[in-house]
């Protein structure tokens, strides 16, 4: 009978340890998933999309930018693109910093009216950024997420 009690006690201890491990795992996961996040990661998809749409509304029309002779930053984007959404605050800040001397154009690749521009600039992914000199010559092209410091450095020679 003593052997059965030890075996039963051992089974209870094992189950208790498994229960504690399971509870600890859930507690750690809950903490990790609900922790406050700082920096670029804190941008929610909804706020990123809102920033992207606000930037698109504030952007200069393509035809005006091409005609005025100033350097131009053209962003090819899509509303569904999470990288475009996460870059929206960076591009918005660049627009604020350089808005007086730089045309800022946003073209939604899902809009059929920009099909010719998508083909002309060989857009194969979004975000696709094109820096044009004032005379229309392409100075530089970026595809994907680009740090603000890289964009700022690339803009300097255009002025």
Please tell me which residue in 59, 65, 81, 126 is annotated as part of the active site.
81
Residue-number span of the structural domain to which 30 is assigned: 1-35
State whether 18 and 55 are in the same domain. Answer: no
Is 132 a catalytic site residue? no
CA distances from 122 to 59, 76, 77, 98, 159 (A): 21, 11, 13, 26, 25
State whether 81 and 149 are in the same domain. Answer: yes
CATH of the domain at 75: 3.40.30.10
In the chain, how long is the greatest CA-to-CA distance?
Answer: 96
In a structure prediction context, what are the per-residue pLDDT tens digits for the chain, which is 159 residues long? 555 555 656 777 788 888 887 887 877 767 666 655 444 444 555 787 888 998 999 999 999 999 998 999 999 999 999 999 999 999 999 999 998 899 999 999 999 999 999 999 999 999 999 999 987 789 999 999 999 999 999 999 988
Tell me the three state secondary structure of residue 140. strand
Please tell me which residue in 84, 87, 126, 155 is annotated as part of the active site.
84
State whether 29 and 50 are in the same domain. Answer: no
**pTM of this structure:** 0.70
d(CA 45, CA 84): 10
d(CA 133, CA 130): 10
Is 84 a catalytic site residue? yes
State whether 66 and 132 are in the same domain. Answer: yes
- How many CB atoms sit inside 10 A of residue 79's CB? 13
């Amino acid at each position: 009978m003593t052997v059965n009690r030890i075996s039963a006690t051992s089974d209870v201890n094992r189950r208790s340890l498994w229960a504690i491990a399971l509870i600890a795992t859930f507690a750690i996961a809950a903490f990790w998933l609900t922790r406050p996040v700082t920096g670029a990661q804190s941008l929610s998809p909804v706020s990123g999309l809102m920033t992207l749409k606000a930037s698109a509304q504030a952007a200069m029309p393509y035809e005006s930018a091409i005609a005025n002779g100033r350097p131009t930053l053209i962003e090819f984007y899509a509303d569904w693109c999470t990288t475009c959404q996460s870059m929206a605050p960076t591009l918005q800040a660049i627009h604020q910093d350089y808005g007086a001397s730089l045309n800022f154009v946003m073209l939604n690749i899902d809009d059929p009216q920009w099909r010719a521009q998508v083909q002309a600039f060989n857009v194969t992914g979004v975000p696709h950024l094109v820096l044009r000199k004032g005379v229309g010559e392409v100075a530089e092209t970026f595809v994907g997420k680009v740090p603000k410091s890289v964009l700022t450095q690339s803009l300097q020679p255009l002025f």
